[in-house]
Amino acid sequence: MDEILQQIRTDLRRSMNGIASKSMREKGLHYKLNFGVDVPRLRELSKRYPIDAQLAELLWRQETRELKILATMLYPVHEFDMDKADEWVKEIPNHEIREQVSMNLFQKLDFADKLVQKWTDSKDEEVRTSGYWLFARLLIVKSGLVNKTNQNEIMEKMISDLSAGSYFLRLSAQRALTFLGRTAESFSKKILDGIQDLQTSGDAAKKEIFDSLSFEFTDFPD
């Protein structure tokens, strides 16, 4: 295992992009170590390494951006259970990793619907943010698991969280609402009805959310 980890580190150093790493830091993405390797390159590199739970766990525990992302690509989906998902969701350090683990791993689980239902009901805002993001991912890939969730209940929670203090909680709720509204006119109408209070809000961020969703779902004359 140490030999594989050493090879991964060597490959990352060869692919290092200092400019990208600096840009990420300036945008608030702080890691103990960040090689600045873009995700498509990481996906290519991941093909060189074994799909192995022990390796993925080892990579996930490292405070290195690329190793965490590779962990989400190398964990065998069939070995990733509910308890492990509940453990990892609480260890997500930032929104970039949330996006990657949702896309590379969580959305592929055959119990992803149960995770959405559980996480969107959490009192922990970080967990709820991940629940909304996973819900959005299932909508994007048109997963049939979406139909096993209580979409109306989740929609109401997301509308409520559009007024939350957390930027990424609002972002995840808005993104998921956008994709949910695209699935059926009934949802888009309920979303528009539910966000009317944001239109008259003195908060510029809430007004922007209203304008964005309203533009998304309002039919304009030809």
pLDDT confidence of residue 26: 65
CATH assignment at residue 199:
1.25.10.10
Whether residue 168 is contained in a domain is answered as yes
Residue 40 has which token pair? Answer: 């498509």
Which SS3 state, helix, strand or coil, does residue 33 take? strand
Whether residue 139 is contained in a domain is answered as yes
Whether residue 29 is contained in a domain is answered as no
Whether residue 210 is contained in a domain is answered as yes
Torsion of CA 167, 68, 149, 123, to 10 degrees: -50
Domain extent at residue 173: 113-222
pLDDT at 206 over 80: yes
Residue with the larger pLDDT of the pair 170 and 33: 170
pLDDT at 15 over 90: no
- DSSP H helices, the chain, are 2-14, 18-26, 39-46, 53-60, 65-74, 82-89, 95-104, 112-119, 125-140, 151-161, 167-181, 185-194, 196-199, 204-217
pLDDT at 31 over 90: no
pLDDT at 52 over 80: yes
The band of 20, judged by pLDDT with boundaries at 50, 70 and 90, is low
The band of 222, judged by pLDDT with boundaries at 50, 70 and 90, is very low
Whether residue 219 is contained in a domain is answered as yes
Whether residue 73 is contained in a domain is answered as no
Average pLDDT score over the chain: 93
Bridge-partner residues for 64, per DSSP?
33
CA pair distance 169, 132, nearest whole angstrom: 8
pLDDT confidence of residue 155: 98
Number of domains in the chain: 1
Whether residue 174 is contained in a domain is answered as yes
Contacts of the segment 109-112: beta carbons below 8 A, 24+ positions apart: 109/77, 109/80, 109/85, 110/145, 111/82, 111/85, 112/138, 112/143, 112/145
pLDDT confidence of residue 1: 78
CA pair distance 52, 197, nearest whole angstrom: 49
Whether residue 36 is contained in a domain is answered as no
Average pLDDT over residues 61-77: 96
Choice among 14-18, 37-41, 105-109, 218-222 with the minimum mean pLDDT: 218-222
Q: What is the pLDDT of residues 135-189, one digit of tens each?
A: 999 999 999 999 999 999 999 999 999 999 999 999 999 999 999 999 999 999 9
